Amino acid sequence: MFQGTVSTALPRREFYHELTEQARGLLAGETNLVANSANLSALLFNAMPDVNWAGFYFLVEGELVVGPFQGKPACVRIAMGRGVCGTAAQTRETQLVPDVHAFAGHIACDSASRSELVVPLVMPDGAVLGVLDIDSPLPARFTEEDRDGIEAIAAVLVATLAPAGAVL
């Protein structure tokens, strides 16, 4: 049984160092995308304070489709370039949004969400696999330390996948 916990009293960089190590251990030896993204969403949702949604959208035939997540049921499909997730996937750049109400085109899946962090998942060959999306009910919940930490954890997931990419 997985017993991991990370103290939220740790400074944020140390918190993410520990959480990244736990993610590495949790996903070690498994290459299945659904299994690893499901476990990773559960790890993040349970370890991170003040988070109301943590999960994945995967790029399928040019559109983002919801994948494994923790939180309330979410929008199923998001067009490339739309919302925070579609913007992260299209630009291949992490979107750190302190106030979702101020982000033009934000898609409100859970009206409780006030801030959001979305990291693109880019395969070694440059293909966009999808995004990792984390939402908070607190405004400005995410800092640059969260961005760096979640980018490192997203890289752990990408590294577990077979070089040829995942079959969805």
Structural contact between residues 24 and 156, judged by C-beta atoms closer than 8 angstroms: yes
Q: Which of 6, 19, 74, 154 binds ligand SME (CB under 6 A)?
A: 74
Amino acid at 160: T
CB of 141 to ligand SME, least distance (A): 13
Q: Which one among 107, 112, 122, 152 touches ligand SME, defined by CB under 6 A?
A: 107
- How many CB atoms neighbour CB 157 within 10 A? 21
Binding to ligand SME in span 37-66, by CB under 6 A: 53
Q: What is the largest CA-CA distance in the chain?
A: 43
Selection from 43, 55, 33 nearest residue 117 by Cα: 55
85 binds ligand SME (CB under 6 A): yes
Q: How far is the CB of 93 from ligand SME (least distance, A)?
A: 14
Task: Tell me how far apart the alpha carbons of residues 9 and 152 are, in angstroms, rounded to a whole number.
Answer: 20
Residues that bind ligand SME (CB under 6 A): 53, 74-75, 78, 83-86, 106-107, 109, 113, 116, 133, 135
